[in-house]
Structure 1
Amino acid sequence: MSRKIKLLWDFRGPDAQETAKHHTIHLKEFATIENLAFHEIDIQEKNPMLFSAFITIDETDMKIYRDALKPHRGEVG
């Protein structure tokens, strides 16, 4: 069984929430165009000036996503 990896992109400032929401559109488009599986795409709030867009994927697909999309960071689980 493959571990799940969460890839994250951080956005800061007064427009961080809207920018993160918009980024999720591009994450979904990429997964669809490349015919890649994912578990979840969403945003999370760290504080009112810091939001992250994320995609949760299987570890087996991590290198494809990482190399193409250049996430700011990743988490296991």
Structure 2
Amino acid sequence: MRKLKLIWDFRGPAALKTAQHHEIHLKEYIRMQNLDIEITGVETLSDMHSIAFLVMDESQMKPIRDALKPHRGQVYQNQ
């Protein structure tokens, strides 16, 4: 099964802190919806751009995308 990474972009001087806070809410949503999602995270792309993300099976994507409205998505490459 293909995995997808849903991504929320945050920009500006508080981007990292905002992304870290957003990840807390993603984990709360996963727990409240009893979803089988184990991969979430935060990445810093530059001083002024950070992302929060979660990774799920492609079959789970549509209802999660519609509920959480990510900025973008991509096929997950296990690193």
Smaller-chain TM-score bracket = over 0.9
Query: Aligned residue for 1:11?
Result: 10
Alignment partners' CA distance in 2, 1:39 and 1:60: 15
Secondary structure of residue in 1 paired with 2:42: strand
* Structure 1 counterpart of 2:53, one-letter code: F
Q: Shift in Å at residue 46 of structure 1?
A: 1.1
Q: Shift in Å at residue 39 of structure 1?
A: 3.1
What's the TM-score once normalised by structure 1's chain length?
Answer: 0.95
Query: Aligned residue for 1:41?
Result: 40
Structure 2: state its 5+ residue gaps: none
Report how many residues are paired. 76
Secondary structure of residue in 1 paired with 2:74: strand
Query: Aligned residue for 2:71?
Result: 72
Alignment partners' CA distance in 2, 1:46 and 1:62: 24
Alignment partners' CA distance in 2, 1:37 and 1:9: 20
* Structure 2 counterpart of 1:51, one-letter code: S
What's the TM-score once normalised by structure 2's chain length?
Answer: 0.92
Q: Shift in Å at residue 36 of structure 1?
A: 0.9
* Structure 2 counterpart of 1:29, one-letter code: E
Secondary structure of residue in 1 paired with 2:29: helix
